[in-house]
Amino acid sequence: MHGSTISEVWHQVIGTQPTAPLALVLVTGVITLLVVGYGPVWRVARNAITIAHEGGHALIALLSGRRLTGIRLHSDTSGVTVSVGKPTGPGMVFTGLAGYIAPSLLGLGAAAMVTADRLTALLWLTLLLLLAMLIMIRNAYGVLTVVVTGVALFVISWFASPTVQAAAAYLITWFLLLGGLRPIFELQTKRSRRQAPSSDADQLHRLTGVPGIVWVVVFFLVAAGCLLVGGYWLVPELPSIAGVTG
């Protein structure tokens, strides 16, 4: 979009783009699966999931009437969102619930956008969400993480070819869908070793009395459901490709 007028950029953002070829959808899915599955790469890429996780906490805190005071992202890919308000009640419960399911729900929304051929809109919406989150970041590493992610996204959405933009949109979508699942398994692994006494699941247990493992199962069911539905939207041909008949 480099060199375009504001009007042309706006029409590009709100308009549709050509449907991505199936090969691109499948290749980006495989690449994402490798990123999520390979530990050394995942430890870096997981920062993006943490951004979505803490963004989920922050959004629901605001919607439930709590006052958001700040977000911190740490180099070990953990994060914390601090809000002020009633320490119990539905607002706290939904705020605690939002973190682990936010990446997957965002991935489902992204899948809806790319299957509607709104690829550019997805890139710019993601950039706007990052800018909104940046306002509430309260530590240097968090600012660096969000800025680097935002700059990379801006460069792609402004300077890259339509093919590269399409690949980026599908990579974002697959990563949110697939990457939303792994932290849930990591969470339960830490809980089983008693290494996460203050995890979201355990905080929800203290708020509701419902065992933490039940909340982990809820996280998993939401994430798995989003992956199944989003994956079907992205690759509706997959059953026939795999030789599955009705």
| Digit-coded pLDDT (tens) for 88-126 | 999 999 999 999 999 999 999 999 999 999 999 999 999
Q: Is the pLDDT of residue 7 over 80?
A: no
Check residue 45 and give its pLDDT.
96
Angle at 74 between CA 73 and CA 76, to 5 degrees: 135
Percent of the chain having pLDDT more than 70? 91
Confidence (pTM): 0.92
Q: Does residue 132 belong to any structural domain of this protein?
A: yes
211 within domain boundaries: yes
Tens digit of pLDDT for each residue in 148-157? 999 999 999 9
pLDDT recorded at residue 222: 98
State yes or no: pLDDT of 183 exceeds 70: yes
Is 243 among the domain residues?
no
pLDDT at 242 (0 to 100): 55
Q: How confident is the model at residue 16 (pLDDT cuts 50, 70, 90)?
A: confident
> What integer pLDDT is reported at residue 77 of this predicted model?
94
In a domain, 240, yes or no: no
* Average confidence score pLDDT of the chain: 92
How sure is the predictor about 237, in pLDDT bands with cuts at 50, 70 and 90?
confident
Using alpha carbons, select from 113, 117, 140 the residue that is nearest to residue 129: 113
Q: Is the pLDDT of residue 245 over 90?
A: no
Domain that includes residue 36, residue range: 21-235
Mean pLDDT, residues 33-45 taken together: 96
Q: How many CB atoms lie within 10 A of CB 239?
A: 12
For residue 194, what pLDDT band results from cuts at 50, 70 and 90? very high
User: Would you say residue 55 lies in a domain?
Assistant: yes
> Is residue 171 one of the residues assigned to a domain?
yes
The answer to whether residue 1 is domain-embedded is no
Answer yes or no: is 218 within a domain.
Answer: yes
Q: How far apart are CA 219 and CA 184, in angstroms?
A: 7
pLDDT exceeds 90 at position 34: yes
Domain count, the chain: 1
